[in-house]
Structure 1
Amino acid sequence: MAADQRTPEHQRVEAADSGQAEWRDWGPYVAERAWGTVREDYSADGDAWRFFPYDHARSRAYRWNEDGMAGFCDLQQNWVLSLALWNGRDDHLKERMFGLAGPEGNHGEDAKDYWWYLDGTPTHSWQSWRYHYPQAAFPYEELRAENTRRGVLEPEYELVDTGVFDESRYWVVSADYAKAGPHDLLLRLTVENAGPARATIDVLPTLWFRNTWSWEVPTGEKPVIAQGDGALLAGPLTLAYETADSSAGVAATETLFCDNETNAVKLFGEGATNLSPYPKDGINDHVVSGAATVNPGRTGTKASVRYTLTLDPGETRVLRLRLSDSGGRPGFDDFDVLVAQRQAEAHAFHDNVAPAGLDNDRKRVLRQALAGLTWSKQFFHYDVRRWLTGDPAYPAPPAGRGSIRNGAWQHLAAKDVILMPDAWEYPWFAAWDLAFHCITYAHIDPEFAKSQLVLLLREWYTHASGQLPAYEWDFGDVNPPTQARAALAVFRLDGGTDFTFLARVFHKLMMNFTWWTNTKDAGQDDLFEGGFMGLDNIAPVNRSNLPPDAGRIEQADSTAWMAVYALDLLEMALTLAHHERAYEDVAVKFFEHFTRIAQAANDEGLWSEEDAFYYDVLTTPDGSKHPLRVRSLVGLVPVTASLALDGIADGLPEFQASVRNFLRRQPGASETVTFAPRASAPEQRETSTAPHLHPRGGGTTLLALVSPERLERVLANVFDESGMLSPHGIRSISAWHRDHPFHISIAGVDSQVDYEPGESTSHLFGGNSNWRGPVWFPLNALIIDSLRDYESNLGESHTVEFPAGTGRRLGLGDVADELAERLISIFLPGPDGAPRPSDARYPLLSTDARWKDQLFFYEYFHGDTGEGLGASHQTGWTALVAHLILRTKS
């Protein structure tokens, strides 16, 4: 980046990268849900949701990490600054977002609050958050009961449905954080009465220490928060608040203190003992019922600054607090100037990121998608060995827990900040999700994105066998191996010069590649299994648990992912070989491995010549093969397996000689190599059997699992609007199956796949997400990027019909742009001011003045309408919309 393009935020990022200033030390690394997680589950049966339910969270200390609303903390989460609210009617403070536990609804594990991540920067010098809090009693039980009553054919019952937002009877609460320095944090809280009548609210910014002292014998050192002069004193930290009304801020009403320790008497009854007379829910009980449950000595490990505000309709108040470790009480004279300055710098940073000429609606999508990623960073703490054996100060957990979950992962000891799928529904990392997060995040902070990809490959995450941990509920499950593709994307976005990073990930990924080849190719035929592969219910059966007497499923997606993996490692090896020639030898290995996988995929039953599509194949014990003829994203992953050798293979004579020798010995492998003169007509391409890399006259040497000829036939199926092409992207299963369900009987069990554009009606693999029709961003984004790569290698004259049946032919790059626009349109206003598709179910969300500029980034989208479904704050991989905006032609 040119010096004149370096905004102050870019300078802070550079200072953090170089170690000159610790700008990333403090950030929004606080989950919005720690209850109901595997980490907090010490049950005998592994039912995490029931062992630590929502109603325990306010009274029970967390063992591993904290949760809160609009929370900030340090990298090790020694302390947390977060927000609590009370509308005067609820039976408990609003200290964390509410949602259904997994078993409580037709979708399950579903947040039922409305909040948004409006802005953020890579160093968290500026973060903005917004929440709408009902003035009526929050309908907790109504939401639980109605969602439990509803079946899978009915829509979820949401907070808007209860009527609590009628007549605008709610509070708008905004939290803006600005950093004066790496360890000097300004918090501006803005509270607006949106309702038609005068109303009162309690606002309680709260500082506490994560409980690190209760688990050992003897008890660990316990920190203290004490009352100071207009401040809370917490060891080296000072949280200052205003003590008199000013033109900018409001004076605090009082300060309240308790301890971040479990109220065992309340939760567990007779025989239980509290370690503190003022446990974790002491502030809650005092505010809600006036109980004498806060420490009159005004010390503790949890403390709130309480503001009681009574506001007229439309009235707004501002609260100002400042957290610093600089010693003394930080002042407020420069508060407003600093907040305005950091906000302006955030504007400058994001204006620099956005493409020139981008319209305001797309700018909003881009900025809030990136903001959601910054807010989805979370401190993740989980020592599996300690979790299995228990803490010295507590009874040992029930025996046999390791056979329920994660028993083979006792080396895993996480204590890191990680980009999570989201902060409420998925407050834990998932390996393939994280790869997509890093691709998008690299557009604003490539160094952090690189560190995330390296992190999961470190010895305290990756198994000694080379397997990467999949996700918290089952580290031993299998996710698609997307890390290599993400590493290459991040490497390029970072300028393509950090060869140390590339080498670090390459060596570890080779171990993982070997694990795949040793464990997921049961037939030793270069056709791979893998299980559900992150696609939950996309198949007619649970691919992870096929009955032993049924045989095995050789998967089109797993096989294609391994072809992609081989090509990505080949590209890494060739790139590194230009700096260290030893990599030429290993590059040949991945060239050969790719050709074997591609040949197997095309010649051993995954390819259907009749349907021009790739399918999973059930291989029964007698050796017969039965294609599972479901037209789905499973059969599109092969399209993403391509690589042009031109350029990266030049100047590497040993590699080229080895490839020529290999092609002489294995002439069938040449079927995976296409020579295409640049800008040639399709009929001029040839699939070569010649033992050389470059055709006479120059051009492109393309390695591809799907040949250009087959690609056009596959895409004809995909781009059919009555099939896989929806108005909002590529469906996960073709709408053709709406009238043509696929049936199969395996081991005496009849199974079926049909087209389900919305929420799942199947309980296969948990039943809480649906890959049987909706649009998902991750594979759409991969396919779009692959089409662009194909065009760059085959030339613009290679065209396909888009949409199918229209007679309109476009180059693959133009098709990629049109697909991207369909996905981006999900978040844009419709024609003539119609609601944006993602929020069309509730006009309030996209037409009301107080709501319409705030965007939700859902987990997936209705295959026909584009309505948002699943998790509502999934600015993990759905943030790929930012990547699409940044790569799509204006």
Structure 2
Amino acid sequence: MMLGERYSPVLSKAREVLLGNVKVFNGYRVVVPHLKAYPVPYCWDTAFHVLGLVHVDPALAKENIESLLLLMRDDGLIPNAPLSAGNQDLRSQPPIIHFAVEYYLRRTGDRESVRRWFPRLKQYYRWWSRNGNLHGRAKRTLSPFTGAREGDPEKEFKLAYWAVCSTGMDNHPTYDVAEGRTVKVGDYYFIEVLDPFLTASLAASARSMSIVAEELGLGDEKSFFESEHEELSNVINELFWDSEDGFYYPLTWSLQPVRVKSVQAFTMLYAEAADKGQAAKLVSHLTSEKEFWGQHGVPTVAFDDPKYMSEEPDWLYSFDPCYWRGPIWPPTTALVVIGLTNYSYRDLAISVARKWLDLMASSLNFAEYYYADGKPGITNRFNFGWTAAVTVFLGHFLAE
């Protein structure tokens, strides 16, 4: 059976779901994560939506980028979501939008729009670079953090959870070590974790911005972002790399490793921060059936890690106590495929993409996330935006 025949029904359904999640927001047509549960644009969701929309409706992809950038505050923050509930408008999410814009440019050639967006993209990059490291404990590494409104009666209880939400991985066991504590620095509240995923996301943004700058003929900007990528990559490898395990781990602010084997380590491939030897060691973990090589995809925590599918601690309160503590998620699947492709592990990238598309073809419900056995997450949120978008994105990846 030809690839197109095998996946044609699921890709058709994915396009239908993606376009079915369109709403008008601030005068723009935007894809929202979920029409009922999350009916407004979310920061990193929008970036993944763009990866799929480029192949479905490039004009709609453009509207989604523009609408997100127009949410930017004067200081450069693009909010988690334009909602005061949970102080979502006072924090952000991983800066994946820079890669999404690079992808949009490569696919559409729309230099005019990207040139117009470039200053805002740079301002958002600088917001993360400037604010994410306010603790000053370890060079350029980022920590999860949030803003808060004075006088909020629930603030003290929720601050640490809100900070974790800035990573997009609302209750990932990497952050259990925070024990619900935050440290106030300036206007923000941090948990005391040096975060490899956020730092890798910023490094990937620097790389994307250097590529975009070169395409636009912005030589000085290209040089600046190349230098940023090199510096961040050096910091990542100096601090997070464990040569004995051949893996990247988070650290506490006192530089103690947080030994949770997490999908976050593979985002170093997405960021192109690892050298070839480090990449090979990461791949050995990824392809181990005892660790990450599952029947239906890559879990967010290794199967053999004690934290795999463990319930969240009391200070976290996600809809599913195992939400990001093992299940397979669309965004991390996409980042793994991108990362493997960056290092010429195309056959492995194809295998991961096929696992995902086979899972979608077997369910056709486009759930928010899935367990290792292929069952949808217990939140029962179906027809999810980024699930459909990643399916389209990976379908086109396989077809190329």
TM-score tier (shorter): 0.7 to 0.9
CA separation of 1:765 and 1:419: change in aligned 2, threshold 3 A: farther
Unaligned runs of 5+ residues in structure 1 are 1-354, 381-413, 578-582, 643-704, 742-753, 792-811, 829-835, 839-854
The match for 1:822 is 355
CA separation of 1:593 and 1:827: change in aligned 2, threshold 3 A: closer
Q: What TM-score results when the alignment is normalised by the length of structure 1?
A: 0.39
Q: Distance in 2 between matches of 1:544 and 1:490?
A: 40
Q: Is the 8 A contact 2:28 2:64 kept in 1?
A: no
The match for 1:555 is 195
Secondary structure, aligned partner of 2:257: strand
Q: Is the 8 A contact 1:542 1:765 kept in 2?
A: no
Q: Is the 8 A contact 1:537 1:764 kept in 2?
A: no
Query: Which string of whole-angstrom CA distances, capped at 9 and with x for unpartnered residues, describes residues 456-477 of structure 1?
Result: 112xx11100000112341112
Aligned with residue 884 of structure 1, among 385, 390, 394: 394
CA separation of 1:717 and 1:585: change in aligned 2, threshold 3 A: same
Aligned with residue 470 of structure 1, among 76, 80, 85: 80
Query: Which string of whole-angstrom CA distances, capped at 9 and with x for unpartnered residues, describes residues 113-158 of structure 1?
Result: xxxxxxxxxxxxxxxxxxxxxxxxxxxxxxxxxxxxxxxxxxxxxx
Q: Distance in 2 between matches of 1:882 and 1:481?
A: 21
CA separation of 1:379 and 1:369: change in aligned 2, threshold 3 A: same
Q: Distance in 1 between matches of 2:295 and 2:205?
A: 31
Query: Which string of whole-angstrom CA distances, capped at 9 and with x for unpartnered residues, describes residues 61-99 of structure 1?
Result: xxxxxxxxxxxxxxxxxxxxxxxxxxxxxxxxxxxxxxx
Instruction: State the shift of 1:762 in Å.
Output: 5.1
Aligned with residue 373 of structure 1, among 2, 14, 18: 18
CA separation of 1:455 and 1:547: change in aligned 2, threshold 3 A: closer
Q: Distance in 2 between matches of 1:542 and 1:478?
A: 22
Q: Distance in 1 between matches of 2:288 and 2:205?
A: 29
The match for 1:575 is 215
Question: 2:306 matched to 1:774?
Answer: no
The match for 1:656 is none
Question: 2:39 matched to 1:427?
Answer: yes
Q: Distance in 2 between matches of 1:874 and 1:544?
A: 34
The match for 1:594 is 229
**Structure 1 segments (4+ residues) deviating >4 Å:** 542-545, 760-764
Give the structure with the larger strand fraction.
Answer: 1
CA separation of 1:551 and 1:816: change in aligned 2, threshold 3 A: closer
CA separation of 1:764 and 1:551: change in aligned 2, threshold 3 A: closer
Q: Distance in 2 between matches of 1:782 and 1:544?
A: 28
Question: 2:249 matched to 1:615?
Answer: yes
Secondary structure, aligned partner of 1:726: coil
Secondary structure, aligned partner of 1:378: strand
**Matched residue type, 1:817:** I
Instruction: State the shift of 1:597 in Å.
Output: 0.9
Q: Distance in 1 between matches of 2:191 and 2:46?
A: 32
Q: Distance in 1 between matches of 2:243 and 2:314?
A: 33
Secondary structure, aligned partner of 1:731: coil
CA separation of 1:545 and 1:449: change in aligned 2, threshold 3 A: farther
The match for 1:564 is 204
Query: How many percent of aligned residue pairs carry the same amino acid?
Result: 23
Q: Is the 8 A contact 2:249 2:257 kept in 1?
A: yes
Q: Is the 8 A contact 2:80 2:89 kept in 1?
A: yes
Q: Distance in 1 between matches of 2:387 and 2:50?
A: 12
**Pairwise mapping of residues 722-801 of structure 1 onto structure 2 (< 5 A)?**
722-737=290-305, 741=306, 754-756=307-309, 764-769=315-320, 770-791=323-344
Q: Is the 8 A contact 2:176 2:313 kept in 1?
A: no
Instruction: State the shift of 1:594 in Å.
Output: 1.2
Q: What TM-score results when the alignment is normalised by the length of structure 2?
A: 0.85
Instruction: State the shift of 1:357 in Å.
Output: 5.6
**Matched residue type, 1:507:** P
Q: Is the 8 A contact 2:207 2:271 kept in 1?
A: yes
Q: Is the 8 A contact 2:297 2:328 kept in 1?
A: yes
Secondary structure, aligned partner of 2:308: coil
**RMSD over aligned Cα, in angstroms?**
2.2
Instruction: State the shift of 1:764 in Å.
Output: 5.0
**Matched residue type, 2:204:** V
Secondary structure, aligned partner of 1:860: coil
The match for 1:358 is 4
Secondary structure, aligned partner of 2:139: coil
CA separation of 1:775 and 1:528: change in aligned 2, threshold 3 A: same
CA separation of 1:373 and 1:552: change in aligned 2, threshold 3 A: same
Q: Distance in 1 between matches of 2:115 and 2:380?
A: 36
Unaligned runs of 5+ residues in structure 2 are 145-162, 185-189
Q: Distance in 2 between matches of 1:726 and 1:602?
A: 27
Instruction: State the shift of 1:545 in Å.
Output: 5.8
Instruction: State the shift of 1:542 in Å.
Output: 7.8
Aligned with residue 455 of structure 1, among 47, 67, 76: 67
Secondary structure, aligned partner of 2:200: helix
Instruction: State the shift of 1:511 in Å.
Output: 0.5
Instruction: State the shift of 1:789 in Å.
Output: 2.9
Q: Is the 8 A contact 1:487 1:505 kept in 2?
A: no
Larger mean Cα displacement after TM superposition, 414-423 or 879-888: 414-423
**Pairwise mapping of residues 624-639 of structure 1 onto structure 2 (< 5 A)?**
625-639=255-269
Q: Distance in 2 between matches of 1:784 and 1:568?
A: 16
Give the number of the structure with larger relative contact order, counting CA–CA contacts within 8 Å between residues 6 or more apart.
2
**Pairwise mapping of residues 410-421 of structure 1 onto structure 2 (< 5 A)?**
414-421=26-33
